[in-house]
Amino acid sequence: MESLTRHTDYGNEGLTEAQAGTDPYALLAAWITVAESADIFEPNAMVLSTVGADGSPSSRTVLLKGLNDASSPDVGLEFVTNYLSQKGRALAAHDRVSLLFPWYGLKRQVIVSGRAQRTDAITSDAFFDRRPHGARLAAIASDQSEPVDSRDTLDERMAVLEDQYPEGEHIPRPEKWGAFRVVPDRFEFWAGRSKRFHDRLVFARSETSTGWTVTRLQP
Ligand SMILES: Cc1cc2nc3c(=O)[nH]c(=O)nc-3n(C[C@H](O)[C@H](O)[C@H](O)COP(=O)(O)O)c2cc1C
């Protein structure tokens, strides 16, 4: 495990206030576009951290499926999941979340904080209908985060659903599955630089103002 003692240089691309601009949605969208062109696997993957009813934190990766900027009535970052999963239950108890985009290959990281709420059913239906056939069936077959006695049990459930809903057949969205939208109140953009002397710019929104204040944090 040579990596534990290695000191990788992070280059000096960094992030200036001028590059960051004044709109955190635009900057996040631009960085996702860079991650896409850099051929990063799942460039829209983000680590969602929640707090359970008992106060325990938990984290897992989900995919960003919608990014609506402040001009949209549905402003926020959207992801889809099972509402009854561990994260779904945590969000029912505590709506505050952290979302972290880990673009190590680009020496970049973005952390978004905000509140998550379920979207309306129409939005969830639209996301569900866009999923490939198999992924729609998997959403029905899986009681996400619940134990199961074997892989065979899951495969048998899938086989039954494949018979019930052949390719091309309308598949209704199960109630347990849908989208969440996180309305951000803070974005932190981190860009690696040499000597571990990195750049960190925070966009924070106050409860009263619609604009964002930009603050540089020490690395
Ligand atoms: C790259 C990647 C993308 C994932 N995308 C999603 C997703 O969009 N939605 C989802 O529910 N789970 C997704 N998962 C699985 C979750 O990380 C997690 O295992 C699952 O949602 C159950 O989490 P929970 O038990 O904490 O609720 C993804 C995992 C990986 C590694």
Residue pLDDT, tens place only, 152-181:
999 999 999 999 999 999 999 999 999 999
Cα–Cα dist 187/201, whole Å? 8
SS3 90: helix
Tell me, what's the pLDDT at 108?
Answer: 98
Structural domain includes residue 1: no
Structural domain includes residue 170: no
Tell me, what's the pLDDT at 188?
Answer: 98
Query: Of the candidates 43, 145, 153, 51, which has an alpha carbon nearest to the alpha carbon of residue 101?
Result: 43
Mean pLDDT of 177-186: 97
32 pLDDT band, cuts 50/70/90, is: very high
Residue pLDDT, tens place only, 84-128:
999 999 999 999 999 999 999 999 999 999 999 999 999 999 999
Ligand 1 midpoint to CA 18 (Å)? 35
Is 173's C-beta closer than 6 angstroms to any atom of ligand 1? no
Is 81's C-beta closer than 6 angstroms to any atom of ligand 1? yes
Query: Of the candidates 12, 49, 9, 15, which has an alpha carbon nearest to the alpha carbon of residue 30?
Result: 15
Best probe residue, ligand 1, of 46, 59, 63 (max atoms within 8 Å of C-beta): 63
SS3 104: helix
Mean pLDDT of the chain: 96
Cα–Cα dist 158/66, whole Å? 28
Residue pLDDT, tens place only, 51-66:
999 999 999 999 999 9
Q: Write phi, then psi, for 30 (nearest 5 degrees).
A: -65, -40
Structural domain includes residue 42: yes
Ligand 1 midpoint to CA 84 (Å)? 13
Mean pLDDT of 70-85: 96
Is 107's C-beta closer than 6 angstroms to any atom of ligand 1? no
Tell me, what's the pLDDT at 84?
Answer: 98
Structural domain includes residue 165: no
Nearest Cα residue to atom 30 of ligand 1: 61
Phi/psi-derived region of residue 21, left when phi > 0, alpha when psi is between -120 and 50, beta in every other case: left
- The length of the chain in residues reads 219
Looking at the predicted structure, is the pLDDT value of residue 45 above 90? yes
Mean pLDDT of 36-53: 97
* 114 in Cβ contact with 188 (< 8 Å): no
The atom of ligand 1 lying closest to the CA of 144 is: 22
Residues 6+ apart with CB under 8 A from 93: 51, 52, 53
Mean pLDDT of 23-41: 97
Domain that holds residue 22: 8-129+178-217
Mean pLDDT of 59-80: 96
Looking at the predicted structure, is the pLDDT value of residue 12 above 90? no
Query: Of the candidates 28, 34, 63, 33, which has an alpha carbon nearest to the alpha carbon of residue 48?
Result: 63
Residue of 6, 89, 108, 196 with catalytic role = 196
Task: State the DSSP code for 34.
Answer: H
Number of compact structural domains in the chain: 1
Is 42's C-beta closer than 6 angstroms to any atom of ligand 1? yes
Tell me, what's the pLDDT at 206?
Answer: 67
Give the CATH number, domain containing residue 65.
Answer: 2.30.110.10
Nearest Cα residue to atom 14 of ligand 1: 62
Structural domain includes residue 168: no
* 82 in Cβ contact with 135 (< 8 Å): no
Is 85's C-beta closer than 6 angstroms to any atom of ligand 1? yes
207 pLDDT band, cuts 50/70/90, is: low
Structural domain includes residue 21: yes
Q: Is 60 a catalytic residue?
A: no
SS3 126: helix
209 pLDDT band, cuts 50/70/90, is: low
